[in-house]
Structure formats: C-alpha cells, structure tokens
Amino acid sequence: MRRFVTGLVVLLAVTAGLPAADKPGDTAEFKTMIQHCWEAWSTLNPDKAAPLYAKEADAVFFDLAPLKYNGWEE
C-alpha cells in the first residue's frame, strides 16, 4: 500500500508540472512557421532554408552522415 501511495504522489507531482493544453489559436504561429520551413526546403535549395537556422560558430547540428556538424559553415 505504501508503494501505491508513493507512486500516486509522484504521478501527481509530475502531472502538476506539465503545461496546460494549448488553445486552438495558440498554434497558428507555429503552423505558419512550419509551413514556411517546408516551403523553403521543398525548393531543394539550402540557401532558401538558411535564414531559418542559427548561424553561431558554436552551434551544433546533427544529421545522419556525418553525424555532427560544428557551426553553419561546416
């Protein structure tokens, strides 16, 4: 019984920290941003998608091959 109560308390603590569900209007900006990203990459020209990504020299990007790029220029 003690494990059950402990598990229940942990479950309640974790779910209390979760953000509330977004309202339908809150996702419009995100959907617009994703659509813009898809349109840029659908041209198959990386220069069109470049403004959507960070250009800092210490930024790290991951891909399939090679697995890791250090900075935008690499």
pLDDT digits (tens, 9 = 90+) for 49-72: 888 888 887 888 787 777 777 777
Q: Is 70 or 16 the better-scoring residue by pLDDT?
A: 70
More confident residue, 22 or 38: 38
Task: Kindly state the percentage of the chain with pLDDT values over 90.
Answer: 14
Residue 39 confidence class, pLDDT cut points 50, 70, 90: very high
- pTM for the full predicted model: 0.45
Using the CB atoms, write b or e for 38-63: b if 16+ within 10 Å: eebeeeeeeeebeeeeeeeeeeeeee
Sequence ranges of the domains in the chain: 26-74
∠ at Cα 45 (40, 49), nearest 5°? 40
